[in-house]
Amino acid sequence: MTCELILGGARSGKSREAERRAAASGLAVTVIATAEALDAEMAARIRRHQADRPAGWRTVEAPIALADTLREASAPGHCLVVDCLTLWLSNLLTDAHHLPPGASAEDLPAFRRERDALLAVLPTLPGHIILVANEVGLGLVPETALGRFFRDEAGRLNQAVAAACPRVVFVAAGLPLVLKDG
């Protein structure tokens, strides 16, 4: 198994880089999409991403059960692209606004269960796995407590996934910068 994490900001080219790496692998590709079309703007984004992918690529939706989906879809000689971990995290943190001040995501059982399952399954998967995530910690400090909570949890998740992946790439302005290789 090879695993890589591709990080970047909004519109940085991270999905395009993941798709380029998947195509270059020469393997059959499945995209695991974590987004949900909850409004017209998100539906348009999803359609744009789908239109950009090669026709032979399969898409599987996994807004919550990412580890189970990876386990089911991974296979030797196959490439999986998870786009993206940040939306998956957002799906898992839907109850975060109910947490008392000072609480952490550890206080959300579904989040804890799904995150731990993802981190446990990554090293066991056959094939080539490419994970896409937003780097949200480079901008302004979010104005709200919930925004800061999300930023912090995204940073923690990215660090844990980066530790599990032998290759980590940061994309800015469409240019990939290898942070870790090997």
Residues with a catalytic annotation lie at 49
Cα angle: 41, vertex 168, 81; to 5 degrees: 45
Q: Would you say the C-alpha torsion 130, 6, 82, 22 has a positive or negative sign?
A: negative
Neighbour-count burial for 66-101, b at 16+ CB within 10 Å, e otherwise: bbebbeebbeeebbbbbbbbbbbbbbbbeebeebee
